[in-house]
Structure 1
Amino acid sequence: MQEKIHWITHLRGIACMMVVMIHSTTWYITHPHTISLLEWDLANILNSASRVSVPLFFMISGYLFFGERSAQPRHFRRIALCILFYSALSLLYITLFTHINVELSLRNLLQKPVFYHLWFFFAIVVIYLLSPLVQVKQVSGRMLLALMLVLGILANPNMVPVKAAGVEWLPLNLYINGDTFYYVMYGVLGRAIGTLDTDKKWLTALCAGLFITGVW
């Protein structure tokens, strides 16, 4: 178990660096006329490769809490302290360096974060709240892949509609709505993948190839 915790800690650190990479490269992507084509391509590749960071955080939480154990009071206290601390820090920044209405930010604190960067803390609370109720069963790799195909692609309401002969074929309407559904699915996926036997060199090479292809 200790080895898994170290592994998760390293993965969480990589995800943190990816978040920094996303924010660091966004300016280059949104200002293509002020930089060279090579610089834009490099920024786009780094930004695209780092987009897995947020799903990774939900998958890590799901791996930890959607199994035999669930989130404990100390985990909720930690999240609450993070929200309070970073909200206070954001309010200080808003007050000193921006023209954003501080009173309005405080009034809407329970509806949206003080600063939009803090949305993640509110979203991850759902994983913690559901953890006593959810225990993911062990499934085969093929079954998991089929579920990912249906829920992540064929029935994903965010995908571009596919129409032919006057009929809209995709996405399938399974009444999936809202980002929270997919945040929970990331958590379920993290736990499901964690129960699979993935210690195979060919599988590692295949996943790496698919990741590179997706980024490219």
Structure 2
Amino acid sequence: MKKYWVSNLRVFATLTVILLHAAGFGSLHVKKLAYTDWWICHIINVFGRFAVPVFVMLSGYLLIGKYEELNSFLKKRLTRIFVPFVIWSLVYIIWSNFKGQPNERTPWTIGDFTQKILSGGGGGSGHLWFVYMLLGIYAFTPIISRWIKGTENSPNPNIQQNEIRYFIFLWFVGNVVYTLVNKWFGFEIKFDIRYFTGFVGYFVLGYWLGKTGTKLSKSMLILLFLASWALAAYICYVVSWKAGKYVYDYTDYLSIPVMLMSVSIFLLFQKACDVDFLPRLMQELDITSYGVYLVHALILRILSREYQINFTWINPLVGISVHFLLTAVISYLIVKIISKIPKVGSWIVG
């Protein structure tokens, strides 16, 4: 049976990433924008922080336990994810060589282009860090999936749940507890649990939450999301205002408030949004979501630099809204047009 909440959440997260990036640059202007204008950029920026973790959680929910054979799995990821990523990395590098700032340009040699793609961020393609991370998780998926499937076949049904909880607990300790101890008390814990750090925890968490669900009501999940959003926004405001620059520590994707935002929105969609909402539109947006993610940063940049449509246009709320809407529509149209190219369209936009 089709899980409508998965498609609905993926589309929502894709649009939220565009909104986040439309507002994010304004939030960096601590004490340089009018106070109210900065807060508009900041609150939208913080709202969008759940989107990337949710993408990873959805991948875990959809892939873990369903992996069957290595070659077919890697081939599908190669054609669907890796090839479009390389193509758009080149597009960003080439575009920046013509239209970018001097520090965004890359010498016209194969070696320099290759180095930029391997090291990331070439030509203003910083948003593609997500693909670098996701490819690393996909490389690890066969191992995780075999572990999960192995525990499913255990005669004791509690074994799988206990092992997954153990994994998630150590992931939380490694990413949150270790970081806070270092920040608050000034020393580094040396017990090595690096294998439980990073976004792989969201990957396993998505599988687990997707399978177990929650007993929390929709109202409680909404309240948890709003409280986490407010907490992240306030703490980030306090430390950023004190430092005189934007401090990401408490809006980091692996911070407690963002974890709570991500978990609550994931469970809320699972519980309340499993409906066939605007089916044709949602199907279109879902199919094109990866391509839109690849394209959108270029459209954002063109609209901002060439036409000054950004958070400074009229006022931040209007500027961000128009920047977001135009980027979403133009990105979708570009991906849709490219996808119609016979034989090669899917290689370009996934």
Both structures adopt the same fold (TM-score exceeding 0.5): yes
Aligned to 1:79: 81
Structure 2 segments unaligned to the other structure (5+ residues): 152-159, 231-350
Compared CA separation, residues 118 and 197, structure 1 to 2 (3 A): closer
Match of 2:213 among 197, 210, 215: 197
**Alignment pair present for 1:183 and 2:199:** yes
Map 1:9-48 → 2, pairs under 5 A: 9-33=7-31, 35-48=33-46
Shift of 1:87: 1.4
Partners of 2:167 and 2:144 lie apart in 1 by 20
**Contact 1:76–1:128 (CA<8 Å) still a contact in 2?**
no
Aligned to 2:59: 61
Shift of 1:54: 1.1
Q: Percent identity?
A: 22
Map 1:113-152 → 2, pairs under 5 A: 113=120, 114=122, 115-135=125-145, 136=148, 138-139=160-161, 143=165, 147=169, 149-152=172-175
**Contact 2:61–2:210 (CA<8 Å) still a contact in 1?**
yes
Q: For residue 210 of structure 1, what is the amino acid of its counterpart?
A: L
Structure 1 segments unaligned to the other structure (5+ residues): none
Question: What TM-score does the superposition give when structure 1 sets the normalisation length?
Answer: 0.78
Q: For residue 208 of structure 1, what is the amino acid of its counterpart?
A: I
Compared CA separation, residues 127 and 109, structure 1 to 2 (3 A): same
Deviations 1:147-171, CA, capped at 9 Å, x for gaps = 165344323x3665333xxx95xx7
**Contact 2:175–2:197 (CA<8 Å) still a contact in 1?**
no
**Structure 1 vs Structure 2 CA RMSD:** 3.1
Shift of 1:106: 0.8
Aligned to 1:161: 183
Shift of 1:108: 0.6
**Alignment pair present for 1:112 and 2:110:** no
Partners of 2:206 and 2:98 lie apart in 1 by 40
- SS of the aligned residue for 1:132 comes to helix
**Alignment pair present for 1:211 and 2:225:** yes
Partners of 1:110 and 1:182 lie apart in 2 by 21
Compared CA separation, residues 96 and 158, structure 1 to 2 (3 A): farther
Deviations 1:34-61, CA, capped at 9 Å, x for gaps = 5432232222121111111111111111
Compared CA separation, residues 88 and 162, structure 1 to 2 (3 A): closer
Deviations 1:71-123, CA, capped at 9 Å, x for gaps = 72223211122212211211221221123123364141453123322222121
**Contact 1:58–1:187 (CA<8 Å) still a contact in 2?**
yes
